Amino acid sequence: MCGISVFPISKNQKLNQISQLLLSVILLYCGYVFISSVASKTPSWYTPTDETLIGQCIGSKTVQRDSIVYIVPTQERIDANVIEAAQLQIGSSFIYGSAPAFLYYANVPVKFVYKLGSLTDSLKSRSIVVIDKKDILNKEIFQILVERVGNPLKLSPLCETQTKVAYRLP
């Protein structure tokens, strides 16, 4: 509707006035649509994901020297194995950990862990760990966390959502 409108120029003064009025109404409507779409920062229907929420929380509580190890959820680790086995990955396949909003809001270096074999080394140099709540009770992950921090269930969460939890490592 806000596209190009063509109004004939006529010798009839009344027709020209109606055309100008119609054009003015269309321009005002287009301006209203544009301004309302630009002015509203967060639509009322938007619900942020848990990755976004925990990223915002961590971002508000980190210091410059912090870095994060983010253990991707089980299904993502399985998907990554399938993608690698089929040699379908590209250079950027795993750098965002399917959570680019988390990276943006956390605003500190993040190491995404897809293979649990690399978790021990990743935890050595990081100050925060983010994990899916279902994975806390994964025997392999739990054992690695116990070796690094003792019983992870005794740590108080730095940030928590319905599905994710972040701990500051001692």
Averaged pLDDT, 27-53: 81
Tell whether the model's pLDDT for residue 1 goes beyond 70: no
pLDDT tops 60 at residue 8: no
Structural domain span for residue 103 = 50-168
Task: Answer yes or no: do 55 and 120 share one domain.
Answer: yes
How far apart (Å, rounded) are the C-alpha atoms in residues 104 and 28? Answer: 37
Domain match, 10 and 22 both: yes
61, amino acid identity: K
On whether both 95 and 164 belong to a single domain, the answer is yes
Helix (H/G/I), strand (E/B), else coil: 160: strand
Query: Do both 17 and 56 map to the same domain?
Result: no
Domain match, 23 and 7 both: yes
Both 56 and 138 in one domain: the answer is yes
Residues 89, 42, single domain; the answer is: no
pLDDT at residue 73, as a whole number? 86
- Which secondary structure element, helix H or strand E, spans residue 22, and what is its range? helix 13-39
Q: Are residues 21 and 55 in the same domain?
A: no
Full-model pTM = 0.69
Domain count, the chain: 2
For residues 16 and 80, membership in a common domain is answered with no
